[in-house]
């Protein structure tokens, strides 16, 4: 009987907090994963680093639209029909392409829906990719390096004389 009570107490004292901690660290409270695992191990270090392809070669809309845009698989295949075709990751890429199946790249940077942001304005205003994204060409896996919080946006807007009234970013 005593032993049973001891076990119950142990479960309450140790088991419950342990379970709570486990849940705390495993529930997706923050869905902004700073460096998500991507479906294909694409590397900026190879393409933007070693090969020095311009960012706009792939992110084609960045100068003219709100979204920078992620390249289509046909752009990848323009090289990978003949480059590194024996590698596992390229076989994966090719089978996605041949099945006409899109690759769902995980988003790295994501503002809340209620924020208005546009790449075009910033690129035209002379802000560099690296100011907001860090040195992507040197990242094995792209991760977020700035908070993307309001204070961060505002600090730069004040510095550079860009608008700071609420409706600039809250439409
Ligand atoms: C050969 C094509 C290619 C080039 C060149 C390229 N990128 Fe990318 N970029 C991608 C692909 C594909 C993804 C999605 C997969 C990933 O996140 O790695 C991506 C993702 C990103 C992301 C993360 C997007 C998100 O979800 O938030 C950023 C930021 C980015 N690129 C910036 C750059 C910058 C800056 C350069 C130039 C230094 C550059 N890219 C050059 C293809 C390219
Ligand atoms: C301008 C040509 C070009 C384009 C466009 C291009 N790549 Fe590449 N890619 C290369 C070259 C060159 C290599 C290095 C091959 C080597 O290591 O010999 C490479 C390497 C890779 C690798 C590493 C293969 C390995 O396992 O070593 C992956 C994965 C990859 N590319 C995916 C992509 C994806 C996804 C896209 C489209 C978003 C893309 N590439 C667009 C030229 C290109
Ligand atoms: C003023 C800061 C800033 C600059 C400069 C900037 N970005 Fe971004 N970028 C962001 C923010 C913020 C997001 C998330 C936007 C959202 O969630 O709507 C983002 C998202 C992205 C994405 C993923 C979503 C999309 O728009 O397709 C890519 C790719 C990207 N940026 C590439 C680039 C490239 C390439 C450059 C330079 C040519 C660049 N960015 C310059 C702040 C910036
Ligand atoms: C590193 C500096 C910098 C950062 C960080 C930055 N901005 Fe800007 N932003 C600018 C500059 C400079 C302009 C003015 C560009 C021009 O001359 O049109 C601007 C313009 C804008 C505009 C257009 C304003 C208008 O009506 O003309 C919006 C919207 C905007 N930014 C939203 C954001 C949001 C949202 C963030 C944070 C997620 C952000 N910005 C972060 C520098 C920055
Ligand atoms: C340059 C862009 C920018 C301007 C200007 C701006 N905000 Fe924001 N605001 C943001 C961004 C980005 C977020 C979301 C990220 C965060 O929570 O910090 C945000 C978040 C908020 C939130 C939190 C909303 C929530 O549900 O989490 C409030 C409240 C807010 N802003 C009020 C204001 C007010 C009031 C003003 C005018 C005095 C203003 N903002 C001006 C960019 C801006």
**Residue of higher predicted confidence among 151 and 13:** 151
Mutate to test the pocket of ligand 3, among 119, 130, 142 (most ligand atoms within 8 A of CB): 119
pLDDT (tens digit, 9 = 90+) per residue, 58-88?
999 999 999 999 999 999 999 999 999 999 9
CA pair distance 33, 36, nearest whole angstrom:
6
pLDDT (tens digit, 9 = 90+) per residue, 27-47?
444 444 567 889 999 999 999
Confidence of residue 11 (pLDDT cuts 50, 70, 90): low
Which percentage of the chain shows pLDDT scores above 90?
78
CA pair distance 145, 115, nearest whole angstrom:
19
Q: What is the pLDDT of residue 142?
A: 96
Q: What is the pLDDT of residue 31?
A: 45
Q: Which atom, in ligand 3's list, is nearest to the CA of 67?
A: 26
Give residue 159's region: left, alpha or beta (phi > 0; psi -120 to 50).
alpha
Mean pLDDT, the chain, rounded, equals 89
List, chain by chain if needed, residues with CB within 6 Å of any ligand 4 atom.
111, 115-118, 121-122, 124-125, 127, 131-132, 148, 152-153, 156-157, 160, 162-163, 168-169
Q: How far is the CA of 67 from the centre of ligand 3 (A)?
A: 7
pLDDT above 90 for 139 = yes
Q: What is the pLDDT of residue 3?
A: 74
- Is residue 141 within 8 Å of residue 134, measured between CB atoms? no
CA pair distance 148, 150, nearest whole angstrom:
7
Mutate to test the pocket of ligand 1, among 37, 44, 47 (most ligand atoms within 8 A of CB): 44
Which percentage of the chain shows pLDDT scores above 70?
81
CA pair distance 84, 44, nearest whole angstrom:
16
- Is residue 42 within 8 Å of residue 53, measured between CB atoms? no
Q: How far is the CA of 29 from the centre of ligand 4 (A)?
A: 28
Q: What is the largest CA-CA distance in the chain?
A: 76
CA pair distance 49, 14, nearest whole angstrom:
50
- Is residue 136 within 8 Å of residue 142, measured between CB atoms? yes
């Amino acid at each position: 009987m005593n032993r049973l009570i001891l076990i119950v107490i142990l479960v309450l004292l140790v088991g419950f907090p342990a379970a709570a901690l486990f849940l705390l660290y495993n529930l997706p409270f923050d869905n902004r994963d700073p460096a998500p695992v991507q479906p294909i191990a694409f590397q900026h270090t190879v393409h933007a680093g070693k090969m020095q392809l311009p960012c706009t070669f792939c992110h084609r809309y960045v100068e003219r639209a709100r979204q920078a845009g992620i390249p289509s698989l046909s752009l990848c295949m323009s090289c990978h029909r003949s480059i590194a075709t024996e590698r596992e990751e390229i076989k994966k890429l090719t089978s996605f392409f041949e099945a006409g199946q899109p690759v769902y790249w995980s988003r790295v940077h994501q503002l809340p829906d209620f924020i208005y942001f546009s790449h075009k304005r910033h690129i035209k205003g002379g802000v560099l990719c690296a100011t907001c994204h860090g040195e992507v060409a040197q990242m094995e896996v792209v991760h977020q390096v700035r908070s993307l919080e309001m204070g961060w946006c505002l600090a730069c807007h004040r510095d550079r004389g860009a608008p700071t009234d609420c409706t600039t970013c809250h439409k």
